[in-house]
Amino acid sequence: MKNEVRICEKELLKVCEAAMLFNIGQNKLRELTSSEECPFVLFLGNRRLIKKAQFLKYLENEYSI
Protein backbone atom coordinates (compact mmCIF):
# COMPACT_ATOMS: atom_id res chain seq x y z
CA MET A 1 0.00 0.00 0.00
CA LYS A 2 1.34 3.39 -0.98
CA ASN A 3 1.72 5.93 1.84
CA GLU A 4 0.06 9.14 0.74
CA VAL A 5 0.74 12.41 2.50
CA ARG A 6 -2.12 14.88 2.78
CA ILE A 7 -1.62 18.15 0.91
CA CYS A 8 -1.81 20.22 4.08
CA GLU A 9 1.10 18.22 5.56
CA LYS A 10 3.47 18.66 2.61
CA GLU A 11 6.29 21.22 2.66
CA LEU A 12 6.63 21.35 -1.14
CA LEU A 13 3.51 21.54 -3.28
CA LYS A 14 2.90 21.04 -6.97
CA VAL A 15 1.20 23.97 -8.67
CA CYS A 16 -2.11 22.10 -8.83
CA GLU A 17 -1.91 21.23 -5.12
CA ALA A 18 -1.07 24.82 -4.13
CA ALA A 19 -3.98 26.05 -6.26
CA MET A 20 -6.38 23.78 -4.39
CA LEU A 21 -4.94 24.55 -0.95
CA PHE A 22 -4.79 28.34 -1.32
CA ASN A 23 -7.74 28.78 -3.72
CA ILE A 24 -5.55 30.57 -6.27
CA GLY A 25 -5.59 29.73 -9.97
CA GLN A 26 -2.82 27.63 -11.46
CA ASN A 27 -2.06 30.28 -14.09
CA LYS A 28 -1.67 32.95 -11.40
CA LEU A 29 0.70 30.67 -9.44
CA ARG A 30 2.77 30.05 -12.57
CA GLU A 31 2.89 33.80 -13.18
CA LEU A 32 4.01 34.48 -9.59
CA THR A 33 6.71 31.80 -9.74
CA SER A 34 8.11 32.60 -13.19
CA SER A 35 10.77 35.00 -11.86
CA GLU A 36 14.21 33.63 -10.94
CA GLU A 37 14.15 35.80 -7.80
CA CYS A 38 10.93 34.22 -6.52
CA PRO A 39 11.66 33.13 -2.92
CA PHE A 40 9.00 30.42 -2.74
CA VAL A 41 9.63 28.37 -5.88
CA LEU A 42 11.92 25.38 -6.36
CA PHE A 43 12.49 23.87 -9.79
CA LEU A 44 13.18 20.16 -9.81
CA GLY A 45 14.01 19.55 -13.46
CA ASN A 46 10.89 20.81 -15.25
CA ARG A 47 8.73 20.44 -12.15
CA ARG A 48 7.80 23.69 -10.39
CA LEU A 49 7.32 23.23 -6.65
CA ILE A 50 5.93 25.80 -4.22
CA LYS A 51 7.62 26.10 -0.82
CA LYS A 52 4.56 26.27 1.40
CA ALA A 53 6.05 28.11 4.41
CA GLN A 54 7.68 30.80 2.26
CA PHE A 55 4.51 31.19 0.18
CA LEU A 56 2.43 31.71 3.33
CA LYS A 57 4.85 34.45 4.44
CA TYR A 58 4.58 36.04 1.01
CA LEU A 59 0.78 36.02 1.18
CA GLU A 60 0.78 37.60 4.65
CA ASN A 61 2.62 40.65 3.30
CA GLU A 62 0.59 41.12 0.10
CA TYR A 63 -2.52 43.23 -0.26
CA SER A 64 -3.55 41.67 -3.57
CA ILE A 65 -2.09 39.31 -6.14
pLDDT digits (tens, 9 = 90+) for 8-58: 899 999 999 999 999 999 999 999 999 889 999 999 999 999 999 999 999
Give the number of domains in the chain. Answer: 1
Residue 29 covered by a domain: yes
Residue 4 covered by a domain: no
Residue 2 covered by a domain: no
**pLDDT recorded at residue 65:** 84
Between CA 63 and CA 60 the distance in angstroms is: 8
Q: State the CATH number of the domain containing residue 23.
A: 3.90.105.50
Which regions of 1-65 does DSSP assign to beta strands (E)?
12-14, 41-44, 47-51
Residue 19 covered by a domain: yes
Between CA 55 and CA 17 the distance in angstroms is: 13
Which pTM was predicted? 0.85
- Is the per-residue pLDDT at 1 higher than 60? no
Residue 65 covered by a domain: no
Quote the domain boundaries for residue 43: 10-60
Residue 56 covered by a domain: yes
Residue 36 covered by a domain: yes
Query: Helix or strand or coil: residue 13?
Result: strand
- What digits encode the pLDDT tens for the residues 6-16? 888 999 999 99
